[in-house]
Structure formats: C-alpha cells, structure tokens
Homo-oligomer: A and B are copies of this chain.
C-alpha cells in the first residue's frame, strides 16, 4: 500500500482503523488525530480494551453467545428455565431479548441466517448443534425468534423441518403491527397477518 503519511505509526493506525466497518481512510485519520489530541492514557486504554476483548472473549460452548467462561452467564444461571430455547440470529439479538425483561429461558445463537444469495448454507450456522441440544436435553419448547425477512423465514422453515421428528413444541414470534406504529403506515402483509392472528382484547390486560 502506498504510504501517505510521514509517520509509520500514524500510517499503521490509520490502516488498522480503516478496516473497521463503516470507517474509511478519512474517518480513520480523523479518529487517529483525535486520539493524538487526547492524553496518552485515553489512547492506551482504548487499544488495551480492544486487545483484551479479542483475547479474553470466546463463545459459550452450549448456546454460542459470547462469553468469558466456557459456559455463558445465561446458560450457567440456575434460576432460568432450562426447558425453553429461544433461537436467535446473533449475539446482539440475545441482548435485545434480555432488555425486554420478559424472557427467563435459554438461547441458541445461530450466527447468521440461511442466505443462498450470500452463499450461507445451513452448515455455516449452529443448526446441527441446536438439533443435538433439543434431542439431548429435556426441552419442552423451541421459540424461533428470527427476523421476519425472506432469510429469516427460510431459516425458520429449515429448523422446523430438522426438528420435525423430535417431540417438542416449536413456536415463532408473533407477527403483527409494531407497538407505536400507525395502521396507515403498516404494510398490507403485516396487516393481513395481524388480522388472521388477532388476539382476545381481554388477554392484553392479563399479559401486560
């Protein structure tokens, strides 16, 4: 690569920073110069935290969530309901569901969705380990909590078929009008699904 700056250290930092997603060379230079304006401690702490992150974190051997231990805090939490598995696409989705405070079961992180267009087949995801987990343990319910997209539905269906022979309840997230959304701006497919799957009004008080 052509060296643009007079300093090798700056050149190196800019190259490394520009490998981050959404960070081009201009932004990388801005970040590097920003770090140079801060006191030394700030820059060193940032660098060290990234090294520690990459060296210290691996994945839970059971649910594939990120974890500092072989078993993640959720899998090793004895107060949680170990008979329910919520299947999610990514680590971020685990965080989203945890933030709702409405779920006390376990997770299974697939690490992506089946997407033939992007060359992602079922074997690239943690589907086999999910099937083993459901076969082996005393699992009563598998919640498919994937995105309501083409890829999500495809993956849902694939998992549903893989689990077909196992006596377990397989559910998926409710589809319907997002809370806070106006009917006027909700697409007709969602409206259709929300109509077909309508719930008893009285139930909404009980569940809230």
Contact = CB atoms under 8 A, between A and B. Distances in A.
Majority secondary structure of chain A interface residues (helix, strand, loop or mixed): helix
Contacts of A13: 49-50, 52-53
A7 interface: yes
Interface stretch (A35-43, A187-195, A200-208): A35-43
Given A29-B92, A57-B7, A67-B7, A17 B36 contact: no
Contacts of A72: 6
Interface residues of A, number: 54
Contacts of A167: none
A27 B47 CA distance: 17
Interface in A57-97: 57, 65-68, 72-74, 90-92, 95
Contact of A51 (B8, B30, B47): B47
Nearest to A111: B37
Given A21-B30, A66-B36, A10 B47 contact: no
Contacts of A6: 65, 67, 72-74
